[in-house]
Amino acid sequence: MTESRDIVYRPRGRISGLRAGAHASRGIGTFGTFRDQVPFMAHPDARRIDVRGTLRDPFEATLVRRFQQRNAIDVYALVDMTRSLSYEGRARKQDLVAELCGALARSVIRSGDRFALIGFDSDIRPDCFIPPNRRLGSAVDVEALLRQAEWRGRDAKGLHDAARRLGGRRKIVFVVSDFLLPLDLLEAGCEALSQHDLIPVVIDDSSERSDLPDWGLLELTDLETLQRKVVFMRPALKRRWLAQEAERRAGIRRILLRFGRAPVLITDVIDVDLISRQLMEA
């Protein structure tokens, strides 16, 4: 919680909302950045009469300046609570998730938006649910809740249910997961979230790829299915493994790009600036 810099995020396009906030909105009002001039009757706001414009107008109509409003948006974090997130490589993925959500909650609330957390595994996790709010203290709550939570899910089928909960106005939805899930499930989840601004966050660990040994016997256990697998590592297999992994990631990326943005990659540590940059580039 010593991190003072904020994660910078921005919804795509213009949002619509009621509460004043930091994001460009479709709403036209009295505050914000200058948009256009209209006749007084179209926007009868005497405080914003454009005196120079009115004098210059050949038709002697009274002109009013209109401004683009800035509104607040709700930011939801959908957190994958399956057991595969308890993987420990360079770091524990669940700690990364907790830290990320804490930082995100703090940033969101400080920029005047509301933050909500929904945990899901094979269903929605009622113990990991924080409704949208703007309490600054809730960032601490989010992080504490996620640090104590049990990551025990066997599959991520609850993504769809969680997505269905987010009705109404457009929201920014961070889906935080390791994305080790079936592609059709991911696609269905993205479908359900398509009215929102989806930002996938892939929690990653370098030990899963760059640290693979060249030689030796690995005994792997699947955290979710508890399936065991012995792998005899050798350079050729390592190449095949990495190629297949790259292919899988490319497939996930293709799906995500179809529904919104390229995923934000988090590897080993939470680097706020790096996350912000990725969010801006996406």
Partner 1 sequence: MNLAVDRPWVLLALVLAMLPLMFSAHRETRVGSVSVVPADPLSTLIAWTLRGSAVAAIALVVAALAGPYRVGQIVSRAGEGAQVVILLDRSGSMNDTFAGRTPAGGEESKALATKRLLRDFVGRRPHDLFGVAAFSTSPMLVLPPTDHHDAVRAAIDASDRPGLDFTNMARGLGMALSMFAADHPDEHHAILLVSDGGAVIETHLQDQLRAEFRKFKADLFFLFLRTAGSRGMFDKPGPGEDTPRAMPERFLNLFFQTLGVPYRAFQAENPDQVADAIDQIDELERFPITYVERLPRRDLTGLAYALACVFTVVLVAGKLLEVRLVTGAGAAKAPVGATA
Verify binding: residue 212, partner 1, rule CB under 8 A. Answer: yes
Closest to partner 1 by CB, 167 vs 216, is 216
Q: How far is CA 227 from CA 10, 69, 212, 213, 221, in A?
A: 41, 54, 20, 21, 6
User: Which phi and psi angles does 142 have, rounded to 5°?
Assistant: -55, -50
Q: Which of residues 43-102 bind partner 1 (CB under 8 A)?
A: 83-93
Question: Smallest distance from the beta carbon of 154 to partner 1, in angstroms?
Answer: 9
Q: Tell which one of 222, 250, 258, 269 touches partner 1 (CB under 8 A).
A: 222
User: CB of 44 within 8 A of CB of 66?
Assistant: no
Question: Smallest distance from the beta carbon of 15 to partner 1, in angstroms?
Answer: 35
Q: Which of residues 246-265 bind partner 1 (CB under 8 A)?
A: 248
Tokens of 156: 């991520």
Q: What is the dihedral of CA 231, 233, 238, 240, to 10 degrees?
A: -50
Closest to partner 1 by CB, 83 vs 196, is 83
Question: Smallest distance from the beta carbon of 174 to partner 1, in angstroms?
Answer: 19
Tokens of 258: 């179809």
Question: Smallest distance from the beta carbon of 229 to partner 1, in angstroms?
Answer: 5
Interior CA angle at 193 toward 263 and 268, to 5°? 30
Per residue, the 3-state secondary structure of 100-151, as one string, reads: HHHHHHHHHHHCCCEEEEEEECCCEEEEEEEEEECCCCHHHHHHHHHHHCCC
Question: Smallest distance from the beta carbon of 167 to partner 1, in angstroms?
Answer: 31
User: CB of 78 within 8 A of CB of 186?
Assistant: no
Q: How far is CA 120 from CA 158, 165, 250, in A?
A: 5, 12, 24
Verify binding: residue 221, partner 1, rule CB under 8 A. Answer: yes
What whole-number distance in Å separates Cα of residue 158 and Cα of residue 33? 41
Question: Smallest distance from the beta carbon of 3 to partner 1, in angstroms?
Answer: 22
Q: Tell which one of 150, 191, 271, 273 touches partner 1 (CB under 8 A).
A: 150
Q: Which of residues 170-199 bind partner 1 (CB under 8 A)?
A: 178, 180
Verify binding: residue 220, partner 1, rule CB under 8 A. Answer: yes
Q: Tell which one of 151, 266, 267, 278 touches partner 1 (CB under 8 A).
A: 151
> How far does the chain reach from its first CA to its final CA, in angstroms?
26
Verify binding: residue 232, partner 1, rule CB under 8 A. Answer: yes
Closest to partner 1 by CB, 76 vs 120, is 120
Residues that bind partner 1 in the complex, under the rule CB under 8 A:
83-93, 150-152, 178, 180, 207-208, 211-213, 215-233, 237, 240-241, 244-245, 248
